[in-house]
Structure 1
Amino acid sequence: MFKGYKLLFVFILSVFILSACSSEPAEQQAEGSKKVNLLFNFATSSLDPNVNTSYVSLRAGITETLVHLNDTDLTIEPWLAESWESQDGQLWTIELRKGVTFQNGKPMDGAAVKASLERAMKDSLAIKNALRIESIEADANTLKIKTAVPFPEFPSELVHPNTSIIDVTEADFDNKPVGTGPFAVSSFTPGTAVDLVRYDGYWNGAAKLEAARFSFNEDANARSLALQSGTADIVFRPEVETLANLETLPGVKVESTSTFRVHQMTMNLERKSLQDIHVRKAVDALIDRQSIVDTILRGHAEVATGPFPSTFSFAPDYPEKKTGMEAARAYLQEAGYSEVDGIMQKNGEPLTFKLLTYSARADLPLIAQVFQSDAGQLGIDVQIQQIELPEEYMAANRDWDLTTYSNLTAPRGDAGYYLNATYHPNGALNFSGADDAHLTALIDKLNATVGQEKRSAIAEQIALYVDEQVYNSFILHPNTLVAYKSDKVLNWVTSRSEYYMLTNELDVK
């Protein structure tokens, strides 16, 4: 009986705390006002659209990019850029959309876009490496861009949220970036929420909403509770275990949509043990993918055989692998390891792994725990460390072996983004430290190739080579989960790219 009262008390307390932390400010709750509160799974301390990897400024409708991704057919299409062309893949002419203004009323012209892109490349090495721009010239609404090398897929890189166009003369990038989107920043509380107001001068028609709140909570269960308690209208990635309950609530809709994301086990190739391919194969063999999909994701995922979902033309048919405990043991024996008194060791040194994970994606810590348990049965000591900002931590620290990490692998409908970012020596997401001359040459060949059929063939080659070398292990492709109040929210679209959330079309009844 006491236990029951205690659980009830904890639930009521959770709802109270959520109401205090996630509800809209009192002055924004006037009866009849058209507003929504979207609760996101990653907290951010900065809104800087050119640097921050949570992409809140784009997702919240503050900023926009030159090029847009069509989520339906995975093609790129004009957005702030009206058109682009190149005869040789190196000299590009971009015509900007006319009549677009920033949220301070200033025109978005060639000079402003040039300054924005140059600022992005100056402050973000990842963007500098991705765009490969040698020079930019601006004349009225025309940009002349020269890339360092022929780069036929250059326009697709302009989809990236970190290439968002902002007015760089408004220098408070962290707290109040000034973009061209349908919503302007009203106030920002780092780690809690950004409050937004409609920008009436928006070039594509003023938003139907008067205001919005884009709030953060990294606790998946708390996000589910927020929807139940009414403090959130749209919840991104609610707790999987609560989905069945949420679906029974009147006026609530749950959407589970396939996406371009992969959950992977990133391997630090600078660590001595993981430089042995047999150890990497053992790690890969230990991952029980189907069990993880069935138990942790409750079926809202697809088992991954590589980085790209099977529906993509550049996802190859991989050779069958040996998996399971005995296969892992055999691989370790090939690497010179043996079990002594229940401890896997080599030359008297026990095999241990430091495994990083983070709670913003609730399934990743659970995957880490399953791997820890399975590895323990082979006498491998796995120490799990929770981190908050995976990209920053992995880039700044090399004292880890493995990381349960989630990444968008084809957000532009092309393999180039992921392969460049993850396996090229200059890649922004090359946390494994991959530096393989053969692999780099294949990626460079891909970058210089025009035409999806030819590009897909090379991308398949690369994916097969990465699989052969076991540079990372791919676990599953999770669905994007969103729950929202369908009796209130109109025109919500669950984006497969996860880029576009608060739009000018979003509305309430």
Structure 2
Amino acid sequence: MSSSSSTSANHKFRSPRSGLVGAAIAAGSMLILSSCAVANSEPSTGTTSADLVRIVLPQEPPTLEPCEANLTSTGVVVRSNITEPLVERNPTTGDLDPLLATEWEATGDTEWTFTLRDDVTFSDGTPFNAEAAAFAIDRAVNSDLGCNVEGYVFGDNDLVVTAVDETTLTVSTVTPDPILPLRLSFVEIVPPSTDTAAKVREPVGTGPYKVKQWDAGTKLTLERNDDYWGDAPAYAEAEYQWRAEGTVRAAMITSGEADLAMGLGADDGAGDLGLDYPNNETVALRLTAEIAPLNDIRVRQAINYAIDKQGITDSLYQGAHIPAAQLVPEGIVGHNPDLKPWEFDVAKASALVAEAKADGVPVDEKITIVARNAQFPKVSEMSQILQEQLTQAGLNVELKMVDTSAHLQYQLRPFVTNEGPIALLIQHGNQAGDAAFSVEQYMTTTGAQSVYGTPEFDTRLTDASVLTGDDRESAYQDIFEYQNEEIVQFAFIAHQTGVIGKAAAVDYTPNSSSGDELRLAEITPVS
């Protein structure tokens, strides 16, 4: 899905809300949605209230803070439901569609100008205008809050944001950035009354829903925002519950207790109510390559050879996932189709470990695989397999399963530094469609989620970021090849295929963004 069409010089659109929903439903006729059944499972014929849609998640959102909305567990509730960005990426076409901004254009080498809607209020009645948009961008990108969206999307560079008048906003960058509008699609707009000293638990936004009640540990309910500027969504309320076990979530669909179940596995038992969709997620081990024995490239190479990627996808996911050779799947700008997954070769892995040991590398030092509970289906089983396979290569490997908040301490800067070498099991989704969003956070020496890099590699990444078109595509393809040959910060495992359970009483077509951004306005009752 190329983003080239979303960064052209000038965009003029009308509100896309009703059109997007229609397009998403129409696109469903072109998708082949396979059954993820256990044999002879029977779909429920139960119906749901036209006033309430019920969604079951793998875990409770740790927060609804909008500047953390690129985290899957937060964004699946917040993005384009409670809050909205200036523009949003169409997951089907890859284009940028207008939302709170109606037009945008590059008005200088480092400046973009946005024209904003003049008929929008936040759910608390506060007017939306350029001042509010500037505040929200400053809060998310230029503040000391440590927002995940800052590291994930913008890196170290601040933006200069100016409210020219009520409906005109300029955003300037330090260096030319041809995909700035795409980056801003990750910034959720909040009113100027939002706390700037601390992250908020329950946000105010301009979206079609607002928070009604959050019973911690039990359920979260959103209610329709009757003052919403766009088309009213079909359901008056949305209720989220969470269950860690995929089989339980699937059973809630087949028994009529839920309308949508997120994050299912292929064999969780949703039967004909399980819908496959490409979710742009890649699973990998991220290796702390500056701590022995992972500071020796031969050990990192050995880890790659030791992992039976095809065996994992076949045994745990019925072959639905694709063994991975790089951080982004097909369809992302910069994906290198010539890269092949590392071959599974335990003998070669063991030989590399032995060679490193003979040269004095302390290969007996404990390496800890850190994985997050309920991060994706079969995460515990995959983690145990990885531990066993790395052990077979001659490494000393321990497995540590943690919850979301603890996992973030390993995932994001400042990293845990007192536990020796870490192989962090990550699940990276590039929903923006451009490799920049992956490499800037995961591969630069100062990236928010990068634990290794080199000055030479930084230069390559910087040079690629200002390119456009075929030059940009080629540069990022070369970067992924260089990573595999010279850096080896990762042991890639699989590009995932998502499964959503959908009750017969609701109409919804999943797309590549559904796992991170479940747009409630696109869910309707079956007539």
**Matching residue of 2:346:** 325
2:410 is the counterpart of 1:393? yes
* 8 Å CA contact 1:359, 1:365 repeated in 2: yes
- Superposed CA deviations along residues 342-375 of structure 1, whole A, max 9, x for unmatched, are xxxx578624311101122132222211122223
Query: Contact 1:119/1:168 (CA < 8 Å) preserved in 2?
Result: no
**Residue from 90, 94, 101 that aligns with 1:70:** 90
1:490 and 1:319 map into 2 onto residues whose CA distance is: 38
SS at match of 1:204: coil
- Aligned-residue sequence identity (percent) comes to 23
Q: Matched residue of 1:197: which SS?
A: strand
Q: 1:98 aligns with which of 104, 115, 118?
A: 118
Aligned to 1:43: 60
Give the counterpart letter for 1:441 in structure 2. Answer: T
Correspondence for 2:252: 226
Is contact 2:411-2:449 (8 Å) kept?
Answer: no
Report the equivalent of 1:500.
517
Matched, 1:148 2:174: yes
The 1:155–1:435 alpha-carbon spacing in structure 2 relative to 1, beyond 3 Å, is same
Q: Is the 8 A contact 2:328 2:438 kept in 1?
A: no
Q: Is the 8 A contact 1:237 1:482 kept in 2?
A: yes
Q: CA deviation at 1:388?
A: 1.1
SS at match of 2:432: coil
Return the alpha-carbon distance in structure 2 between the equivalents of residues 269 and 348 of structure 1. 14
Structure 2 residue aligned with 1:435: 453
Q: CA deviation at 1:467?
A: 0.8
SS at match of 1:65: coil
Q: Which of the numbers 115, 126, 139 marks the counterpart of 1:119?
A: 139
Cα distance, 1:439 vs. partner? 1.1
From 366, 371, 381, the equivalent of 1:352 is 366
Could you list the runs of 5+ residues in structure 2 that have no partner in the other structure?
A: 1-46
Q: Equivalent residue for 1:137?
A: 162
1:227 positional shift: 2.0
Deviation for aligned residue 1:386: 0.7
Query: Partner of 1:7 in structure 2?
Result: none
Give CA-to-partner distance per residue, 1:144-164, whole Å, 9 cap, x none: 11112221211111122xx11
Whether the aligned pair in 2 keeps the contact of 1:60 and 1:214 (CA below 8 Å) is no
Give SS of 1:271's match: coil
Residue 9 of structure 1 corresponds to: none
Counterpart residue identity of residue 463, structure 1: F
Partner of 2:24: none
1:299 partnered with 2:301: no
Partner of 2:28: none
Code of the residue aligned with 1:217 in structure 2: it is R
Question: d(CA) in 1 for partners of 2:391 and 2:515?
Answer: 36
* In structure 2, distance between residues paired with 1:505 and 1:272: 49
Q: Mapping of 1:414-493 within 5 angstroms?
A: 414-430=434-450, 433-449=451-467, 451-468=468-485, 469-486=487-504, 488-493=505-510
Q: What's the counterpart of residue 23 of structure 2?
A: none
* Contact preservation (8 Å) 1:133, 1:146: no
Q: How much has 1:94 moved relative to structure 2?
A: 1.0
Corresponding residue of 1:404: 425
2:120·2:128 contact (CA, 8 Å) conserved in 1? yes
- What corresponds to 2:271 in structure 1? 247
* Alpha-carbon offset, residue 194 of structure 1: 1.8
Residue 428 (structure 1) shift: 2.1
Distance verdict in 2 for CA 1:505–1:134, change over 3 Å: closer
- Return the index of the structure with the highest Cα Rg: 1
On the 8 A contact 2:79/2:517 being kept in 1, the answer is: yes
Question: TM-score, normalized by length of structure 2?
Answer: 0.82
Distance in 2 (alpha carbons) for counterparts of 1:200 and 1:185: 13
Q: Tell me the distance in 1 between the aligned counterparts of 2:242 and 2:341.
A: 41
Equivalent-residue separation in structure 1 for 2:315 and 2:340 (angstroms): 26
Q: Report the counterpart of residue 43 of structure 2 in structure 1.
A: none
Deviation of 1:497 after TM superposition, in Å, equals 5.8
Which range moves more in the overlay, 217-226 or 192-201?
Answer: 217-226
Count of residue pairs brought into register by the alignment: 460
How far apart are residue 264 of structure 1 and its match?
0.5
Cα drift, residue 506 of structure 1:
1.9
Worse-matched range after superposition: 368-377 or 410-419:
368-377
CA contact (8 A) 1:391 1:429 kept: no
3-state DSSP class of the match of 2:66? coil
- One-letter code of the match for 1:453? D
Cα separation, partners in 2 of 1:438 and 1:32, compared to 1, 3 Å: closer
Instruction: Report the AA paired with residue 502 of structure 2.
Output: Y
Distance change in 2, residues 1:402/1:32 (3 Å): closer
Q: State the TM-score, normalizing by the size of structure 1.
A: 0.84
Q: Match for residue 367 of structure 1?
A: 382
Q: Find the aligned partners of 2:123 and 2:132 in 1 and give their Cα distance.
A: 13
Matched-pair contact (CA < 8 Å) for 2:280–2:512: no
CA drift of 1:261 comes to: 1.1
Residue type at the aligned position of 2:495: H
Distance (whole Å) between structure 2 residues aligned to residue 328 and residue 347 of structure 1: 15
The one-letter amino acid paired with 2:356 is: A
For the residues of structure 2 that align with 1:273 and 1:470, how far apart are their CA atoms?
14
Is contact 1:43-1:218 (8 Å) kept?
A: no
Secondary structure of the residue aligned to 1:274 is coil
State whether residues 282 and 493 of structure 2, in contact with CA within 8 Å, keep that contact through their aligned partners in structure 1: yes
**Matched residue, 2:335:** 315
1:455-502 CA distance string (max 9 Å, x none): 11110111011111211111101111101102x112443444634313
- SS state at 2:244 partner: coil
1:286 Cα deviation after fit: 0.6
Task: Look up the equivalent residue of 2:240 and give its one-letter code.
Answer: F
Distance change in 2, residues 1:443/1:125 (3 Å): farther
Moved more, 317-326 or 263-272: 317-326
Instruction: Calculate the aligned-residue CA RMSD, in Å.
Output: 2.4
Once residues 296 and 70 of structure 1 are traced to their aligned partners in structure 2, the CA distance between those partners, rounded to angstroms, is: 31
- Conserved in 2, the CA contact under 8 Å of 1:329 and 1:378? yes
Where 2:319 maps in the other structure, the secondary structure is coil
Shift of 1:296: 0.7
The answer for unaligned runs of 5 or more in structure 1 is: 1-29, 339-345
Amino acid at match of 1:397: V
Rounded to whole Å, the distance in 1 between the matches of 2:178 and 2:411 is 31
Could you say which residue in structure 2 is the equivalent of 1:23? none
Give the residue type in structure 1 aligned to 2:371: T
1:435–1:237 Cα change, 3 Å? same
Deviation at 1:297, TM superposition (A): 1.2
Residues 56 and 262 in structure 2, CA contact (< 8 A), matched pair in contact too: yes
Match runs of 1:25-36 below 5 Å: 33-36=50-53
Q: Secondary structure at the match of 1:108?
A: coil
Is the alpha carbon distance of 1:444 and 1:213 closer, same or farther for their aligned partners in structure 2, counting shifts above 3 Å? Answer: same
SS at match of 1:50: helix
